[in-house]
């Protein structure tokens, strides 16, 4: 092995006591190289001469991802200082060991990973099964919601090391839960437990620790089966429904727009805390989801992509755009450079590229202003924006043209942006207030037996102020 870079030799402590450590690993642990343990909470760790462990990080850092990346950085520092170190992990370094995955991708060091006995061997022995014959899926409990999607079992759920993780497993599988699950705890130790319990009694039967796994022989149906069924329903509608067979991307366009606006209206109801608002939102989101699946089905028929490709694509894009969540980048810098990153990713010549022309005019204006601001081109403060509105208002007075009115509206959007107000929502709310007041004025005039067109400006203004006061009293709860 080349010595141009510092070397980290990774060994596994096996699934239980020191008797399951390989002779090769025992020899490396007894060498003069400093030994670092990922965790000292392991049956084989007692009595080892080590430089230290990383157990303190599990208490001081917020997420496992932070813990693992910090471990890697410390290991690299230690290897750089000593030239070569030993890194010992529980079980096998090749099974469910994220720090080793990170080290493999780190070009600052050379990595020498030695084979070891993994905990799964003890599981197969305790269960009396051949995992290959049964096509067992091994699932990390921390990724339970995604890793079991579409699977029926059998599965071995590993790293169920705390009550919180056990709760996540139960929540993820409760709707499709098996009748029973088998608890595998402390295998290879004198306190080993192998117990099959009813699924509903799992939480009360188990106090998880770092040597705990669950065996699930079969699920009632796959997790995320509802999405699979929905995709199949859309496929069948497309094949057998005369109306659905005739549709194209273009013909579906107005339906997509309509469903989008209906979702927005449902969100407004949720925001206003109206009764049954979430019932309506659930239904409208379903209608919008149908449009996503339908367009994906059309693309699949044309040989371009499937709805699974759509999901994978947005997953990968969001993962790449959030290095502060899935990596160690600075959150402030990532957010500040958001538009610049997208410009590089999509190979755009201008930050203005990619703004849909079909956006509502106010949102289009807001988006152009935000893009310009992200590139450093913006007014200094709110006072400047208000002065710009005043200037544009004077120009409209001198030249009441569409051009000048457009400039005035654009300047008003600038004010909204600087106040962090969405102009589309603000104008919609203002329009609704006008409608509510007008209805009262209209009803009042009808009750008085007069038409609005027959009243003077002063009379109309008086009605308007009365309607405004009436709505304000209703909003404040006054009778």
- Residue 263 Cα distances to 279, 281, 288, 289, angstroms: 12, 6, 8, 11
- Nearest residue to 353 (alpha-carbon basis) of 341, 338, 368: 368
pLDDT digits (tens, 9 = 90+) for 190-207: 889 999 999 889 888 888
Residue (of 276, 254, 277) closest to 264 by Cα position: 277
Residues 6+ apart with CB under 8 A from 338: 321, 374
Q: With bands split at pLDDT 50, 70 and 90, how would you rate the model's confidence at 446?
A: confident
Q: What are phi and psi of 204, to 5 degrees?
A: -80, -10
**Whole-number mean pLDDT of the chain?**
87
Question: 390-413, pLDDT tens digit by residue?
Answer: 999 999 999 999 999 999 999 999
pLDDT mean over 140-147: 81
Separation between Cα atoms, residue 62 and residue 162, nearest integer Å: 15
Span 430-439, average pLDDT: 89
Q: How confident is the model at residue 479 (pLDDT cuts 50, 70, 90)?
A: very low
Q: Is the predicted pLDDT of residue 331 greater than 80, yes or no?
A: no
Q: What percent of the chain has pLDDT over 90?
A: 41
Q: What is the pLDDT of residue 339?
A: 59
Mean pLDDT of 266-286: 89
- CATH topology for 225-305? Helix Hairpins (1.10.287)
Whether 57 shows a pLDDT value over 90: the answer reads yes
**DSSP characters over 113-139:** EPP---HHHHHHHHHT--HHHHTPEEE
CA 137 to chain centre: 24
Query: Residue 301 — pLDDT band, cuts 50, 70, 90?
Result: very high
Q: Is the pTM of this model over 0.75?
A: no
Return the H-helix or E-strand segment holding 23: helix 23-29
Whether pLDDT at 322 is above 50: yes
- Span of 83-92, 370-379, 391-400 with lowest mean pLDDT: 370-379
The two three-digit tokens of residue 149, written as one number: 């999607």
| pLDDT given for residue 295 in this prediction | 96
Topology of 121-216 in CATH? Answer: 3.30.950
CB 85, CB 10: distance < 8 Å: no
Residues 315-324: contacts with CB under 8 Å, at least 24 apart: 320/345, 321/345
What would the mean pLDDT of 132-151 be, rounded to a whole number? Answer: 82
What is the domain partition of the chain in residue ranges? 7-117, 121-216, 225-305, 424-476
Model confidence at 79: pLDDT above 90: yes
Residue 2, pLDDT > 60, answer no
Q: Is the pLDDT of residue 346 over 70?
A: no
Q: What is the CATH number of domain 7-117?
A: 3.40.1010.10
List, for residues 210-237, the tens digit of each pLDDT value.
889 999 988 877 667 678 788 889 999 9
Residue 415 CB-density burial (10 A; 0-12 exposed, 13-18 middle, 19+ buried): middle
Residue 454's pLDDT band (boundaries 50, 70, 90)? confident
Least confident of 40-44, 63-67, 377-381, 427-431: 377-381
| pLDDT of the residue at 62 | 84
Q: Are 189 and 14 in contact (CB under 8 A)?
A: no
Query: What is the pLDDT confidence band of residue 344, given thresholds at 50, 70 and 90?
Result: low
């Amino acid at each position: 092995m080349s010595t141009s870079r510092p070397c980290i030799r990774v060994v596994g402590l096996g699934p239980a006591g020191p008797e399951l450590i390989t002779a090769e690993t025992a020899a490396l642990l007894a060498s003069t190289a400093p030994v670092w343990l990922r965790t000292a909470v392991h049956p084989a760790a007692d009595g080892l001469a080590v430089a230290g462990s990383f157990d303190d990080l599990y208490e001081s850092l917020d997420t496992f991802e932070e813990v693992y990346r910090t471990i890697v950085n410390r290991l690299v520092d230690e290897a750089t200082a000593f030239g070569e170190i030993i890194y010992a992990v529980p079980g096998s370094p090749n099974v469910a060991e994220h720090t080793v995955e990170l080290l493999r991708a780190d070009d600052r060091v050379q990595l020498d990973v030695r084979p070891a006995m993994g905990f799964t061997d003890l599981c197969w022995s305790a269960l009396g099964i051949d995992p290959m014959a049964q096509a067992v899926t091994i699932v990390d409990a921390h990724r339970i919601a995604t890793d079991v999607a579409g699977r029926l079992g059998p599965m071995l759920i590993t790293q169920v090391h705390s009550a919180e993780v056990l709760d996540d497993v139960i929540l993820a599988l409760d709707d499709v839960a098996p009748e029973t699950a088998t608890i595998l705890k402390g295998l290879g130790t004198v306190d080993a437990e192998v117990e099959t319990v009813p699924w509903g009694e799992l939480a009360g039967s188990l106090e998880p620790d770092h040597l705990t796994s669950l065996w699930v022989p079969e699920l009632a149906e796959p997790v995320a089966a509802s999405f699979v069924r929905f995709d199949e329903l859309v496929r069948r509608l497309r094949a057998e429904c005369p109306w659905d067979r005739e549709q194209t991307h273009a013909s579906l366009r107005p339906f997509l727009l309509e469903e989008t606006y209906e979702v927005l209206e449902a969100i407004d109801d949720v925001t206003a805390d109206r009764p049954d608002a979430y019932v309506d939102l659930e239904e409208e989101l379903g209608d919008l989801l149908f449009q996503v699946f339908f367009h994906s089905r059309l693309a699949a028929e044309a040989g371009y992509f499937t709805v699974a490709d759509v999901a994978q694509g947005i997953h990968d894009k969001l993962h790449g755009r959030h290095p502060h969540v899935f990596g160690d980048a600075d959150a402030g810098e990532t957010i500040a450079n958001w538009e610049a990153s997208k410009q590089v990713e999509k190979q755009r010549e201008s930050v203005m590229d990619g703004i849909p022309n079909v956006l509502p005019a106010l949102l289009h204006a807001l988006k152009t202003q935000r893009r310009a601001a992200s590139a450093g081109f913006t007014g200094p403060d709110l006072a400047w924006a208000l002065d710009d509105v005043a200037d544009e208002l004077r120009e409209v007075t001198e030249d009441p043209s569409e051009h000048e009115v457009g400039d005035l509206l654009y300047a008003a959007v600038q004010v909204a942006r600087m106040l962090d107000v969405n102009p589309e929502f603000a104008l919609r709310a203002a329009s609704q207030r006008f409608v509510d007041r007008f209805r009262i004025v209209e009803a009042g005039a009808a009750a008085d037996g007069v038409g609005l067109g027959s009243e003077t400006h002063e009379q109309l203004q008086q009605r308007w102020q009365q309607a405004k006061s009436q709505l304000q009293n209703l909003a404040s709860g006054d009778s």
